[in-house]
Amino acid sequence: MGQLTGGDPSLLRRINSAVVLHALRATDSATLTEVTQVTGLSRPTVEGVVEGLIDGGLVVETAADESAARRQGRPARRFRFRAEAGHLLGLEIGPHRVSALLSDLDGRVLGSLAKDVCETASADERLERLRTTVAELLRRAGVARGSLRAVGVATPGIVEADGTVRLGTALPQWTGLPLGERLRRSFKCPVLVENDANAAAVAEHWKGAATGSDDIVFVLAGLSPGAGSLIGGRLHRGFGGAAGEIGALHLLGSEVTPETLLSTTGEPLHPLDEQAVAEVFTHARAGDERARAAVERFIQRLVHDVAALVLALDPELVVIGGWAAGLDGVLEPLRKELARFCLRSPRVTLSLLGEAAIATGALRLALDHVEEQLFAVEGTVTARR
């Protein structure tokens, strides 16, 4: 499709670097001849680029294959992408726990660690808990903090582009917290903050229940559900980062509050009290009438919220996750009701990643950021003569 000549030589070098990196990353190892063939670049260009990448620590010559050497005389030198040249973190800051995933530059998970945190913990306490979790994870994995290239963080609430929590009622002191700024003090690399349901949507698309679809809604089911959506494979955050915050829909009119939704006693449940909620489901399965009625109310609410999302967005696939995902009986009524009144019913399935979804999505966002820097080959070239 034409050649890029003249123009900005440093841009050209970056593009060529990215092309070579991309080729090496797609295989275990390759010879310069193989890279030349795959990329269409000239031999001298490939040699120069590979040398630069070795100097930068991103590529290394692999040990010679002795048997091949014996068989064929001196073997061609082979090179590989050094996925271990940098590391990424995916962090979840939730109401009950903080968790951390560590990966290499290929996104391969090297370790994970989660710690409980009190639902009433202050923002400082919660962040301190996260810091000690990260420190322990890095120490266990033998990875230096300076090796981190990007950190993704996912948390409940509406998150602004700069990582400030605009509104986060699920965690104490969360609204207004400059979470990105606070965490950037702990890390010298970029820190990307995202809403938890958005991160989970990204995760299920990456390696969960939604790998085959680019138009999905992920519902973080709960007493006050949230959702994240991908449109054409890209996260839809909304104009103010609040897309998918469907839990507020029940505040309208005479519908019951989340706290009384699953109550069997008239006493409100705390929306985050997963154990009390699980007990209601257990009692319902055991035949308790009041528990069954409460579960019925819960499912009807969930159906209504999911229906609103489906009608607004028309996704190919709905993935249900969050703490309610493990509980029986949500999926079938959802499918049935959506089929009944949605003009075009999406497929509905359960999360495959379960409670790992949120941190996994945060990790993927960090990986996206690094890939954009390392592997970006897109560039608009204006045609002139």
Q: Note the residues at the interface with a copy of itself (CB under 8 A).
A: 1-8, 12, 15-16, 19, 40-42, 45, 158, 166-167, 215, 227, 229, 231, 236-246, 248-249, 251-253, 300, 303-304, 307-309, 311-316, 337, 340-344, 346, 377-385
Q: Which residue has the tokens 């951390």?
A: 100
Q: Which two tokens stand for residue 243?
A: 């897309």
Longest dimension (CA), the chain: 83
Looking at the Cβ atoms of 110 and 342, the one nearer to a copy of itself is 342
- Least gap, CB of 93 to a copy of itself (angstroms): 19
- Least gap, CB of 167 to a copy of itself (angstroms): 5
Looking at the Cβ atoms of 189 and 302, the one nearer to a copy of itself is 302
Looking at the Cβ atoms of 63 and 381, the one nearer to a copy of itself is 381
Cβ(147)–Cβ(87) below 8 Å: yes
Looking at the Cβ atoms of 44 and 142, the one nearer to a copy of itself is 44
Report, in angstroms and rounded to the nearest whole number, the Rg of the chain calculated over CA atoms.
25
Burial of 96 (0-12, 13-18, 19+ CB in 10 A): middle
Looking at the Cβ atoms of 3 and 265, the one nearer to a copy of itself is 3
Question: CA distances (Å), 321 to each of 13, 15, 334, in order?
Answer: 44, 39, 13
Looking at the Cβ atoms of 253 and 266, the one nearer to a copy of itself is 253
- Least gap, CB of 241 to a copy of itself (angstroms): 7
Return the SS3 of 95: coil
CA 237 to CA 245: how far, in whole Å?
Answer: 10
- Least gap, CB of 236 to a copy of itself (angstroms): 7
Measured in residues, the chain has a length of: 385
Per-residue three-class SS string for 286-339: CCCHHHHHHHHHHHHHHHHHHHHHHHHHCCCEEEEECHHHHCCCCHHHHHHHHH
**Measuring CA to CA, which residue among 165, 232, 180, 229 is closest to residue 202?**
229
- Least gap, CB of 146 to a copy of itself (angstroms): 33
**Measuring CA to CA, which residue among 80, 62, 365, 332 is closest to residue 203?**
365
- Least gap, CB of 332 to a copy of itself (angstroms): 16
Looking at the Cβ atoms of 299 and 357, the one nearer to a copy of itself is 299
Residues 6+ apart with CB under 8 A from 1: none
Looking at the Cβ atoms of 36 and 264, the one nearer to a copy of itself is 36
Q: Which two tokens stand for residue 133?
A: 């979790």
Question: CA distances (Å), 385 to each of 12, 382, in order?
Answer: 19, 10
- Least gap, CB of 238 to a copy of itself (angstroms): 2
Question: CA distances (Å), 151 to each of 91, 101, 130, 148, 249, in order?
Answer: 7, 10, 13, 7, 33
CA 241 to CA 235: how far, in whole Å?
Answer: 11
Looking at the Cβ atoms of 29 and 300, the one nearer to a copy of itself is 300
Return the SS3 of 226: strand
- Least gap, CB of 158 to a copy of itself (angstroms): 6
- Least gap, CB of 108 to a copy of itself (angstroms): 29
